[in-house]
């Protein structure tokens, strides 16, 4: 609060807040707005209404009162509210900053809500502009079980219903991380979510892999940057949101700016390495350096190369190899099919062979990376088990039972004999794909794998993307590794 405001009465501070545009608000233009899923389509009728709210009233159309935006933190709810205000030239009012009787952020009295809506109506009438009432952490207001809070909620219903005057041009955007469709705590009253109040509900979600790629491209397009492999870079993202992806691009741009200051002759461009470093720091939560002994580093590199070379030989693109510690303490190889690809029987067998690549590499070079291979073998076994049980393609099962699908349940228990037969098929499939992975690595050769491992370990951070992996597979093997 400003010092000059302290001397003003509450009513004057409230009026000054609404008419003075004192809410902190960062405009979001259409070119900067890249929502996930169908959010833009859901906002379109609201946007049109606020742009032409007087025309809607003249046509005696049913007016919107508000919307509930819900979803995990960082998925773009506040960004969407700012976009809505920017696109419609509406005044943006942060309800939680509105001066009121109780200074508690989430506490409202009836008279405070009445003053908020009364002043909003006067603003719309005087300026002919719509007003967006942005209410963040709306669930905190609903959770307050005090008598005053319940009275305030009833007052909100009265205001939304327009009992004290038309709400034309006033639109409330309530934001929460709680899902009203799965309201276990009973926070959201059916009266609140009915049509005419907060009947419009818009769900915000974490982006899919393809949406992560689109978001990364969108935010990069706003900065000067060199060509980068966005499809590979999203492999380093852990449950990203639009906000975290925007922050990563911002950090990479700051890194490019620091480089420009130290070497003014260099062009200001975000590089792939800038993005990799920003992603590792922000999303991987690990150091950029490898905290391992030299022998361990080499073994990890060879283990991951086993996965990657098998994947490549079987026609699977290798987006990235990372030697930074993953869940099992080793690195990680990323090899994904296109997001819209429907997996086939051949794809499942390929997945098993790729997972066997790490073990095959360890056996090929005669070392063990410890418990790391356990996770690979568990993955292989689970894939083989599901494939044999659900596809009816097991040789032994077909010979004994025909094209059977195995489902163990109380109504249809599976016999011990059937399980033993199924285990034979699982073991046969695992052995088959293990042999296939070993053959591929023998064809690649120890010299090539050592050469590639040495080149990977010289990277800082030790991460290789698809283009460089393909180059290392065919690069001449001299005394020096390629730069």
- pLDDT 10s digits, 413-461: 567 888 888 888 899 999 999 999 999 999 999 999 999 999 999 988 8
User: Looking at residue 176, what is its pLDDT?
Assistant: 95
User: Is a pLDDT exceeding 80 seen at residue 203?
Assistant: yes
The SS3 assignment for 482 reads coil
User: Is a pLDDT exceeding 90 seen at residue 350?
Assistant: yes
User: Looking at residue 371, what is its pLDDT?
Assistant: 55
User: Looking at residue 483, what is its pLDDT?
Assistant: 46
Query: Over the Cα atoms of the chain, what is R_g?
Result: 30
- What are the pLDDT digits (tens) for 72-125? 998 999 999 999 999 999 999 999 989 888 766 667 889 999 999 999 999 999
User: Looking at residue 344, what is its pLDDT?
Assistant: 86
User: Looking at residue 328, what is its pLDDT?
Assistant: 58
The answer for residues whose C-beta is within 8 angstroms of residue 57's C-beta and 6 or more apart is 63, 166, 168
Choose among 128, 55, 37, 138: nearest CA to 90. 128
User: Looking at residue 86, what is its pLDDT?
Assistant: 94
Please say whether the beta carbons of 71 and 175 come within 8 A: no
Q: What is the mean pLDDT of the chain?
A: 86
N- to C-terminal Cα distance for the chain?
Answer: 57
User: Looking at residue 293, what is its pLDDT?
Assistant: 67
How far apart are the C-alpha atoms of 280 and 366, rounded to whole Å? 31
Choose among 199, 121, 98: nearest CA to 167. 121
Please say whether the beta carbons of 36 and 242 come within 8 A: yes
Please say whether the beta carbons of 112 and 98 come within 8 A: yes
DSSP letter for each residue of 409-464: -SSSPPPHHHHHHHHHHHHHHHHHHHHHHHHHHHHH-HHHHHHHHHHHHTSSS-EE
DSSP letter for each residue of 69-120: EE-STTSSHHHHHHHHHHHHTPEEEEGGGS--SS-STT---HHHHHHHHHHH
DSSP letter for each residue of 129-165: --EEEEESSHHHHHH--SHHHHHHHHHHHHHHTTTTS
Residue 104 is encoded by which pair of tokens?
């508690």
How far apart are the C-alpha atoms of 170 and 176, rounded to whole Å? 20
Please report which confidence band the pLDDT of residue 367 belongs to, taking 50, 70 and 90 as the band edges.
confident
The one-character DSSP state at 182 is G
If you count them, how many residues does the chain have?
483
User: Is a pLDDT exceeding 80 seen at residue 291?
Assistant: no
User: Looking at residue 261, what is its pLDDT?
Assistant: 86
User: Looking at residue 270, what is its pLDDT?
Assistant: 94
User: Looking at residue 9, what is its pLDDT?
Assistant: 85
Percent of the residues in the chain that have a pLDDT greater than 90, as a whole number: 47
Mean per-residue pLDDT for 182-187? 85
How far apart are the C-alpha atoms of 208 and 240, rounded to whole Å? 9
Residues facing residue 209 across a β-bridge: none
Domains of the chain: 3-203 (3.40.50.300), 209-284 (1.10.8.60), 294-474 (1.20.58.760)
Q: Identify whether 423 is preceded by a cis peptide bond (ω within 30 of 0).
A: no
């Amino acid at each position: 609060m400003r010092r000059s405001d302290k001397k003003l009465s509450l009513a004057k501070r409230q009026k000054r807040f609404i008419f003075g545009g004192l809410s902190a608000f960062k405009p979001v233009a259409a070119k900067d707005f890249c929502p996930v899923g169908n959010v833009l389509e859901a906002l379109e009728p609201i946007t049109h209404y606020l742009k032409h709210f007087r025309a809607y009233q003249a046509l005696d159309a049913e007016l919107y009162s508000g919307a509930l935006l819900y979803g995990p933190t960082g998925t773009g709810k506040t960004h969407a509210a700012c976009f809505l205000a920017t696109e419609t030239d509406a005044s943006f009012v942060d309800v939680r900053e509105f001066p009121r009787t109780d200074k508690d952020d989430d506490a409202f009295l009836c008279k405070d809500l009445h003053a908020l809506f009364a002043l909003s109506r006067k603003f719309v009438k005087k300026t002919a502009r719509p007003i967006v009432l942005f209410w963040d952490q709306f669930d905190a207001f609903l959770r307050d079980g005090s008598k005053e809070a319940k009275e305030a909620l009833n007052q909100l219903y009265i205001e939304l219903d327009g009992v004290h005057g038309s709400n034309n041009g006033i639109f409330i955007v309530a934001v929460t991380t709680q899902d009203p469709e799965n309201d276990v705590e009973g926070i959201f009253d059916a009266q609140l979510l009915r049509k005419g109040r907060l009947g419009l509900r818009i769900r915000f979600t974490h982006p899919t892999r393809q949406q992560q790629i689109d978001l990364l491209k969108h935010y990069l397009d706003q900065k000067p940057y060199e060509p980068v492999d966005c499809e590979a870079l999203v492999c380093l993202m852990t449950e990203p949101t639009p906000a975290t992806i925007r922050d990563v691009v911002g950090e990479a741009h700051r890194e490019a700016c620091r480089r420009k200051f130290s070497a003014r002759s260099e062009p200001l461009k975000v590089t792939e390495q800038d993005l990799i470093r920003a992603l590792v720091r922000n999303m991987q939560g690990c150091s950029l350096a490898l905290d391992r002994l030299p022998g361990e580093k080499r073994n990890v590199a060879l283990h991951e190369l086993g996965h990657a070379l098998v994947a490549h030989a079987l026609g699977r693109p290798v987006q990235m190899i990372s030697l930074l510690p993953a869940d099992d303490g080793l690195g990680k190889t990323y090899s994904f099919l296109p997001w819209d690809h429907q997996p086939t029987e051949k794809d499942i067998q390929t997945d098993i062979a790729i997972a066997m690549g790490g073990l095959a590499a360890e056996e090929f070079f005669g070392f063990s990376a410890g418990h790391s291979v356990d996770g690979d073998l568990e993955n292989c076994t689970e894939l083989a088990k599901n494939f044999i049980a659900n596809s009816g393609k097991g040789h032994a099962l077909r010979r004994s039972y025909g094209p059977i699908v195995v489902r163990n349940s109380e109504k249809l228990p599976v016999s011990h004999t059937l399980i033993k037969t199924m285990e034979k098929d699982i073991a046969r499939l695992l052995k088959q794909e293990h042999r296939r992975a070993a053959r591929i690595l023998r064809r690649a050769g120890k010299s090539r794998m050592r050469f590639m491992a040495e080149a990977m370990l010289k990277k800082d951070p030790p991460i290789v993307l698809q283009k460089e992996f393909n180059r290392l597979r065919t690069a001449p093997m001299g005394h020096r590794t390629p730069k």
